[in-house]
Amino acid sequence: MPHDLPKAYDPTAIEDRWAEFWVSEKLFAQPTPAPSAANAQNQGPEGQSDGKSSGQLPFVILLPPPNVTGRLHMGHMLNQTEMDILTRWRRMSGRRALWLPGTDHAGIATQMMVERQLTEEGTTRQKLGREAFVDRVWEWKRHYGGAILSQMKRLGASVDWQREYFTMDEHLSVAVREAFVKLHEQGLIYRGAYIVNWCPRCQTAISDLEVVYEEHKGHLWEIRYPVLDAAGNDTGEFLTVATTRPETMLGDVAVAIHPEDERFLHLHGKMLRLPLVDRQIPVILDEWVSREFGTGAVKVTPAHDPNDFAIGERHHLPSINIMDDTAHINAEGGVYAGLDRYVARKKIVADLEAEGLLGAVKDYTNNVGHCDRCKTVVEPRLSTQWFVKIQPLAEKAIAAVKPDANGNKAIRFTPEMYEKTYLNWMENIHDWCISRQLWWGHRIPAWHCATCHKITVARVDPTACAHCGSDTITQETDVLDTWFSSGLLPVSVFGWPNLTPQTRADFDAFYPTSLLVTGFDILFFWVARMIMLGCWFAGDVPMPDGSPRSLADSVPFRDVYIHALVRDANREKMSKTKGNVIDPIEIVKQYGTDAVRFTLASMASPGTDIAFNVARTEGYRAFANKIWNAARFIFMNVDRAAEIGIVVDRSTLGRMPSVGADAPLEARWIVAELHVTATKVNQSLENYRYDDAANTIYQFFWGSFCDWYLEIVKLRLDFSVQQVSESVYDENPPAKSIALTAYPKAAETIDNDALLGMSLLQSLIVEVRALRKEIGVEEKASTPVEVRIGSGMQAVLANNCDIVERLARASHVDFVEQIAAGLPMHSASAFDVAVIYEKKIDAAAERERLTKDIAKYEKGLASAERQLGNEAFLSKAPAQVVEGLKKQESETRLLLDKARAALAALPKD
């Protein structure tokens, strides 16, 4: 039998096979267009050669590259489900669709992973040396780096695997280098001392965005600084400061007070003696000081606090860095040198107390920054870093999102509120620190000269200093922030910077991309960086016709959709500490990919978090099962039709079906319903209403197609009439895969008569079924039905009486002027309907059934009573078990009473 589907629906068996087929057949590959054809014509999917699709822009979407160290989590699952739905929908609707996958080298995360391995082996990266360490990371990547993309393959993501990239690939590294050198040439990259968030474990600067703040119960220590006279002797007066990090006092260079603070003004211009260090430091005035906080006098440590750094700049104070890369006190800390920051803190507090210089110690809760990767407390610390001057990049990135003079936006955010969030951040942005003190990543292409101490930045590794010609040059040891390279992806994956007339077909065809789907958590990290770098670098690339590129065509994407969070069933955020993390792969193993993705889609809409509930997934597995069974039924009957000589018209396959006006009502109706559904689904997807689209499809397939249409078709099988279901699909695909057929699109006119007629028929059947239930008609009994209906509508019912008779178990339908008095009746706006039925009971059979039931209940009751009377059992059994047993006992007693009463009420024969 050609259409033999296994009886049971087993998602794992099907999904593995098709996912593999999609990859091996390169089904979703979108090759580079021929240069002349770029950006001109789009080919529709196979089987759709009607030309309607030409002239449409391609649909291009970049997968936010997961970390190469990553494993798929629920957030990925949602985000990829949404991207896959949109890409497949656009592809099947005739657009040249490209979903482009890749992974990120993830500087800190990957380095940490390999360092952990080294620790287990009893060695360190320092012992290994930079080159060997980097080789080792590459080796790790070759072995384990493909895991997350393999998971995506298994889940059938319709990406173009031929274009898979890794952010450290050769051609992408060229782009990173070009971007750095160009920005440097443009005077937009500089090197400077700045307060950075320093992670003493990772031993690198980390971005503000990579610092997570946690409430921390600590103390506020007050320290008394002796006031000196002109000769440098203690006056006996003190100025008291307050701090949460007393060890930083070693780096104090001043104490600041507010210029209007009467309490301390007399001290302005005086010197203080810094305790333990015996350094003389001035009292200065600065408006930034809050008179209400602490004591109102602020110790100034420019090398260890961003605000103090700003004060230091304003007052031309020196910066004294007192810590090394591992947050141990350095030589500047005198006797405390070599101590860990927290050990030093204890000792300093003790020493101050011993000298009588410790004031009050108050409990104090503050927000302490931790490294997002390793959770170590971050140390604000002065260090020399590389920066991107953020203007005019940010200016362009703002213009790209704000409406222009005509109210048009080059980039649109959905939900719209994120536009404000983005603009607010971009308007307050600081210069971007792009250097990281890691070994894994794109090493900064800058060389330091030992002779003239100048820096050479170059596209090709230099052999001599560009300034003095000396060959004693060494490359910068820092690497670039990972977001610097991922921020370039929209231009670099399409060939920038090597855009020659021969190579630029990809760029012309696919840039700007259409849409970015991503989470809020990387809005600033990544989305903002892509907009800045995309607008900046693509702006220099002329349009395919040679004209200059406008800002609207320089943007990396035209739409941004920020998806919601997936929470647990109780709407709690998933977290490892709470133990409520759902592993998507586990759920997929249990219910199948389709059920999991359908669950997510059915709840996904802009701005609404998803409470993921496994019970719902179970329901959608049943839906998948329903589809399976419907397909089996259709295939079986296609064969039956073929056996009796009915030939399927293959020219209609893969297209929206149509039927003639003389076709049976249910055929006309289901076609009209399909067209209505197509309109709704297409509109929903236009508006990112995945939930509406999913629910509409569910209603159509389960409600209309299975519950009504197939039920009616089964009745009609006697005539072998099946115009619609068989033209939907005959298992001989019109394209290489059903994934490449045309997406349903509604016809201009819909058969409203069929919709109305069927709706009348349905409500009549529903009312008859309800009536039968109410008056207790036995399920299998057929009964006559009386209907009063206006003459205009009667014909539809009369022509389809067979459907009512079979689906509502009517023995026949009588059309009457008036429903006979006394009959149980239901009314709808268009009709009244009554069921004629006299209840007959088979007393003998009923007596037998009740007698059996009574025996069963008596036995159950006796057993429960025995257990509840057993002291030994009661003393050992858990309270829950005893409770359950008691409940069972009382329920059984109730059922027994009811059965006995029913038996007594039976007529005697």
Binding site for Zn ion (CB under 5 A): 199, 201-202, 371, 373-374, 376, 449, 451-452, 465, 467-468, 470
Q: Least distance from C-beta 619 to Zn ion, angstroms?
A: 43
- Token match 């292409």: residue? 445
Rounded Cα distance between 371 and 767, Å, is 65
Q: Least distance from C-beta 454 to Zn ion, angstroms?
A: 5
Rounded Cα distance between 808 and 796, Å, is 16
Q: Least distance from C-beta 470 to Zn ion, angstroms?
A: 5
Q: Least distance from C-beta 374 to Zn ion, angstroms?
A: 3
Q: Count CB-CB contacts under 10 A for residue 547.
A: 9
| Sign of torsion over alpha carbons 235, 237, 239, 240 | positive
Where does 200-335 show beta strands of DSSP type E? Answer: 204-206, 211-228, 234-243, 254-257, 271-274, 279-285, 298-300
* 775: three-class secondary structure by DSSP: coil
Rounded Cα distance between 625 and 614, Å, is 16
Give whichever of 467 and 567 is closer to Zn ion, judged by the CB atom. 467
Give whichever of 214 and 540 is closer to Zn ion, judged by the CB atom. 214
DSSP-assigned states of every residue in 146-194: THHHHHHHHTT----GGG-EETTSHHHHHHHHHHHHHHHHTT-EEEEEE
Cα angle, residue 891 at apex, residues 886 and 892 outer, rounded to 5°: 100
CB 181 within 8 Å of CB 458:
yes
60 DSSP β-pair partners? 98
Give whichever of 14 and 452 is closer to Zn ion, judged by the CB atom. 452
Give whichever of 448 and 567 is closer to Zn ion, judged by the CB atom. 448
CB 401 within 8 Å of CB 411:
yes
Give whichever of 468 and 877 is closer to Zn ion, judged by the CB atom. 468
Cβ contacts of residue 768 below 8 Å, gap of 6+? Answer: 785, 804, 808, 810, 826, 833, 835
Give whichever of 203 and 652 is closer to Zn ion, judged by the CB atom. 203
Q: Which amino acid is at 355?
A: E
Rounded Cα distance between 36 and 680, Å, is 38
Q: Least distance from C-beta 207 to Zn ion, angstroms?
A: 12
Q: Least distance from C-beta 456 to Zn ion, angstroms?
A: 8
CB 702 within 8 Å of CB 626:
yes
Rounded Cα distance between 99 and 542, Å, is 24
Q: Please state whether 776 falls in left (phi above 0), alpha (psi between -120 and 50) or beta.
A: left
Q: Which amino acid is at 70?
A: G
Q: Least distance from C-beta 269 to Zn ion, angstroms?
A: 43
Q: Count CB-CB contacts under 10 A for residue 723.
A: 21
Q: Least distance from C-beta 315 to Zn ion, angstroms?
A: 33
Q: Least distance from C-beta 378 to Zn ion, angstroms?
A: 8
Q: What tokens were used for 157?
A: 């993501």
- Radius of gyration, alpha carbons of the chain: 38
Where does 610-654 show beta strands of DSSP type E? Answer: 610-611
CB 539 within 8 Å of CB 549:
yes
Give the relative orientation of helices 170-185 and 529-538 as an angle to the nearest 10 degrees: 80
Give whichever of 368 and 468 is closer to Zn ion, judged by the CB atom. 468
Give whichever of 373 and 558 is closer to Zn ion, judged by the CB atom. 373
Rounded Cα distance between 379 and 305, Å, is 9
Parallel, antiparallel, or unpaired: how do β-strands 479-480 and 435-436 relate? antiparallel
Rounded Cα distance between 281 and 270, Å, is 9
Q: Least distance from C-beta 371 to Zn ion, angstroms?
A: 3
Q: Least distance from C-beta 108 to Zn ion, angstroms?
A: 7
- DSSP symbol at 830: S
- Token match 């239901």: residue? 826
Q: Which amino acid is at 171?
A: H
Q: Could you tell me how far CA 800 lies from the centroid of its own chain?
A: 49
Q: Least distance from C-beta 115 to Zn ion, angstroms?
A: 11
Give whichever of 371 and 426 is closer to Zn ion, judged by the CB atom. 371
Q: Least distance from C-beta 212 to Zn ion, angstroms?
A: 11
Q: Which amino acid is at 512?
A: P
Q: What tokens were used for 131?
A: 């080159």
Give whichever of 280 and 451 is closer to Zn ion, judged by the CB atom. 451
Give whichever of 114 and 489 is closer to Zn ion, judged by the CB atom. 114
CB 142 within 8 Å of CB 100:
no
Alpha helices in 1-129 (DSSP H): 11-24, 74-92, 107-120, 125-128
Give whichever of 435 and 800 is closer to Zn ion, judged by the CB atom. 435
Give whichever of 46 and 325 is closer to Zn ion, judged by the CB atom. 325
Give whichever of 435 and 605 is closer to Zn ion, judged by the CB atom. 435
Q: Least distance from C-beta 462 to Zn ion, angstroms?
A: 11
Give whichever of 319 and 376 is closer to Zn ion, judged by the CB atom. 376
Q: Least distance from C-beta 105 to Zn ion, angstroms?
A: 17
| Sign of torsion over alpha carbons 715, 717, 721, 722 | positive
Give whichever of 467 and 616 is closer to Zn ion, judged by the CB atom. 467
Q: Least distance from C-beta 369 to Zn ion, angstroms?
A: 11
Give whichever of 206 and 693 is closer to Zn ion, judged by the CB atom. 206
Q: Least distance from C-beta 119 to Zn ion, angstroms?
A: 14
In the Cβ-directed half-sphere of 133, how many Cα atoms lie within 13 Å? 22
